[in-house]
Amino acid sequence: MSDTDLVRAKRTGQSLVVRLLRGRTISITNFKDFSGTITKMGYRCMKNETGPWLPPGGRQVIWMKDRVIVKLKTRGTKCGPRTGKPHASFSYMKANGAIEWKDELAKFDYRGKFVFKAKVTAGQAKEKQIKDPNFKYSWPTCIDMQRNEDDMNDWANNCHFGFYKNHFDDTGADKYFCGK
């Protein structure tokens, strides 16, 4: 990970925050406008899926630009603090094209700042990765286990963004095509 990548990713994440958030809430409340805005910002849809972690009818749609992804859960998750609450997050990934949870290095918080998941600093992680290209420093490998559950919930709440009154019209999400 080069310093240029970090600077570019930070600008990209900040532009998402400025464009989509009002405080800690996403201002666009329907799939058509959300996907249109993301696409106009240069993001390409990488995945549109269902899964056992999603409520019935829920979808996870992932867009990517360089090493930044936008992840939307149209009906929230099946369990946990965002059960049934549609939300999105913006993440900095290990590499361009990497979209899996294990490849996530950091999320952007509501201020557009990186919130790294690892208990090592970005510099330490960079050094470790130079020495060992297989070193994985995203969650859960190096999560800071000294944090308590409240700290983890604060972290999650600062970088997962809900919609106004927890309402999101997901019409069309099930038919949205992601090209490679």
Alpha helices of 113-148 — where are they, by DSSP H? 122-131
Tens of pLDDT, residues 15-59: 999 999 998 999 999 999 999 999 999 999 999 999 999 999 999
151 Rama class: left (phi>0) / alpha (psi -120 to 50) / beta: alpha
C-alpha distances in Å from residue 7, one per residue of 4, 28, 103, 115, 151:
5, 27, 19, 14, 27
Contact (CB, 8 A) for 162 and 87: yes
Q: Is the pLDDT of residue 1 over 70?
A: no
Tens of pLDDT, residues 125-142: 667 667 776 655 443 334
Tens of pLDDT, residues 52-89: 999 999 999 999 999 999 999 999 999 888 899 999 99
Count Cβ atoms below 10 Å from residue 116 Cβ, excluding itself: 19
The mean pLDDT value of the chain amounts to 84
pTM above 0.75, yes or no: yes
165 Rama class: left (phi>0) / alpha (psi -120 to 50) / beta: left
3-state helix, strand, coil in the chain (%, to 5): 30, 25, 40
Q: Is the pLDDT of residue 150 over 50?
A: yes
Question: Nearest-CA neighbor of 71 among 80, 56, 58, 52?
Answer: 58
| Residue 11, amino acid | R
